[in-house]
Amino acid sequence: MFRIQLYTTFFILTCNIGFSFGQIWPKIYGHNILVYVNNIYESYDKGYLLGGSILSDPNTFKYVWIIKTDINGTVIWDKKLGNGTNQYLLNNCKLTNDHGIIITGATSKYDAELDPMFIKLDSCYNIEWCTVLSSDGYNGGVDVIQSSDNQYIGILRYYAGGNHNQRISLIKIDADGNPVWIKNCTWDDPLMTNEEGLHLLLTADGHYLVSGYCTHPGLRPLWFMTDSSGEQIWDLVWGDHTGWLFQTIEKDTGIFYCAGTYANQTCLHPSIFKFNENGQFLNQYYLLGDTIVAGGAGSIAKYNDSTLIVGIAWRNVPFPVGAGYTDVVTTDTTGNILKIRSLIDDPHGTKDIATTFDKKILVTGNYAIGNNWDIYLWKLNSDLELDTLYTQSFTYDSLCPVPITSDTIDLSCGLYVSIKDIPLKEDYDKMLKVYPNPAISTINFEFKDLKTATTLSIYDSYGRLMEEKAVPAHTKDMQVAVSAYRSGLYLAVLKNATVILGREKFMVER
């Protein structure tokens, strides 16, 4: 089963609510249904958007769920994406430059096992496109961001299966939902196995930063950075104690802080990790003292130049394991706690943190009363006190010409493509491509970024020149008849006056 992204393994069910009836915060969503939340954002209109999932039972997802609230957390509308029969789940979503949403997760609509899924909603929260990637096994999209060229980069989990080399892959999707390429993230390190990428960040210089964990040989924090084409720049496996990572922020250009879990000599601790754009580890800070027996940090946000906001969970007794707490803390940049607020007597931690236009703090998480999971949303001021009621008037969803209503949308995804048919990044980058291969009567050549005139030469298996074609600058494709060729192996060579730009072998069959 594709695993729910609960942030730390020590989070166990319990719930003793720590607030009085009648307070405006927290807001609770999903009464009498089983729901999870993953993301919270402030919308352009000062309302709030939550992204999550509705389940029919603890192991079966039912709908992707988007909730829109006003500035006081009151629901304006909600969208359920799915058909109520197949599984649909949201693992992460991000706001886009056009004030829509890009969503990634998984679905079982086209396969009894789960397939990766990407959905784009416009500013009226209508579906622009939906893309599902056919794959063997239980796979899914883990996180997604809009890239600097207004396309999308996502993380896929378990693309190639197995325990080594291809547990994390990046996929590029164009603005219309068409997969462009897949880049399998592999390492030469023979000690690294069981890699998991949990969070994806677009850096200030347009690079992609993935945070997660791996076995090396114990469970270790893992980061890696790629350039804008998915080529790896560095990877960092840190420390000799058990640990793993969740959200990462770029606080200052080239300086990153990450929320996670790291063990000392006695137990797991909520921790902040600090490193730079070159993959140099700068520091790791424990957020609580030695009185706890387990804990972790799941979400982090920048509040101002000197202050971070971190969501933590912890417990101070070994048993029962469900006895514990979820807190939100503000810290300085060296991990010293400035303020702390207890949110709920439940050690499931926070799922996301955001700040608002007026420097308020939004914190959300999943908590259960009995067997029912609900979404909780807190709004706090700079002193971590519960925010007050806003009485002024706000206009919501002003970019949409008609009122947005709550509804359920059956996701009949327009594109269902096999992962195996999406080119690997290495193949996509080739200057020369040939198809079909084998060929019968004609062979097609595709050229990439030909800025000058070139020559295409075809040789047989003995190295004899079969024919030569002039290829003008900026030519994108060419077709060559091979009906007079004997069956066998041939080599196509693309070159300019001095440099071979590409070589591709192809077969001719009769």
Mean pLDDT of the chain: 90
Bridge partners (DSSP) listed for residue 146:
152
CATH topology of domain 430-508: Immunoglobulin-like (2.60.40)
Q: Residue 426: enclosing H or E segment and its boundaries? A: helix 425-428
Using one digit for the tens of pLDDT, what is the confidence trace for 284-299? 999 998 789 999 999 9
Residues 94, 154: Cα–Cα separation, whole Å: 11
Whole-number pLDDT of residue 385:
97
- With beta carbons less than 8 A apart as the criterion, state whether 207 and 225 touch: yes
List all residues 6 or more positions away from 241 whose beta carbon is below 8 Å from its beta carbon.
218, 262, 263, 264
Using one digit for the tens of pLDDT, what is the confidence trace for 316-326? 888 887 789 99
In Å, the largest CA–CA distance within the chain is 87
Domain-wise residue ranges, the chain: 27-418, 430-508
> 């077709």: which residue's tokens?
479
Question: Pick the residue with more confidence: 467 or 190?
Answer: 467
| Count of CB atoms situated within 10 Å of the CB of 255 | 14
DSSP structure class, residue 175: T
Instruction: Please state which of the ranges 23-37, 226-240, 420-434 shows the lowest mean pLDDT.
Output: 420-434
pLDDT bucket at 18, cuts 50 / 70 / 90: very low
> 């969208």: which residue's tokens?
79
Whole-number pLDDT of residue 263:
94
DSSP structure class, residue 348: T
Bridge partners (DSSP) listed for residue 502:
494
Backbone angles phi, psi at 288, to 5 degrees: -130, 165
Whole-number pLDDT of residue 168:
92
Whole-number pLDDT of residue 22:
46
Using one digit for the tens of pLDDT, what is the confidence trace for 99-155? 999 999 999 998 888 999 999 999 999 999 999 999 888 899 999 999 999 999 999
Average pLDDT over residues 195-216: 96
Using one digit for the tens of pLDDT, what is the confidence trace for 470-499? 999 999 999 999 999 999 999 999 988 666
Using one digit for the tens of pLDDT, what is the confidence trace for 87-108? 999 999 999 999 999 999 999 9
Whole-number pLDDT of residue 160:
56
- pTM, entire model: 0.84
Using one digit for the tens of pLDDT, what is the confidence trace for 359-416? 999 999 999 877 789 999 999 999 999 999 999 999 999 999 999 999 999 988 888 8
C-alpha triplet 484, 486, 491: angle, nearest 5°: 100
User: If 0-12 CB within 10 Å is exposed, 13-18 middle and 19+ buried, where does residue 265 land?
Assistant: exposed
Average pLDDT over residues 64-71: 98
pLDDT bucket at 53, cuts 50 / 70 / 90: very high
- With beta carbons less than 8 A apart as the criterion, state whether 70 and 85 touch: no
| pLDDT for residue 159 is more than 70 | no
- With beta carbons less than 8 A apart as the criterion, state whether 25 and 74 touch: no
Beta strands 152-157 and 193-202: pairing type?
unpaired
Residues 230, 219: Cα–Cα separation, whole Å: 25
| pLDDT for residue 185 is more than 80 | yes
Residues 232, 185: Cα–Cα separation, whole Å: 8
E strand intervals along 108-178: 115-121, 127-134, 140-146, 152-157, 168-173
Q: Which long-range contacts (CB under 8 A, 24 or more apart) does 215-218 make?
A: 216/189, 216/191, 216/192, 217/191, 218/242
Query: What percent of the chain has a predicted confidence (pLDDT) above 90?
Result: 75
Question: Pick the residue with more confidence: 186 or 239?
Answer: 239
Whole-number pLDDT of residue 372:
86
Query: How far, in Å, are 67, 96, 422 from residue 73 at the CA level?
Result: 10, 22, 42
| Count of CB atoms situated within 10 Å of the CB of 217 | 10
Whole-number pLDDT of residue 500:
75
pLDDT bucket at 166, cuts 50 / 70 / 90: low
CATH 2.130.10.10 fits 27-418, yes or no: yes
| pLDDT for residue 269 is more than 70 | yes
Bridge partners (DSSP) listed for residue 179:
173
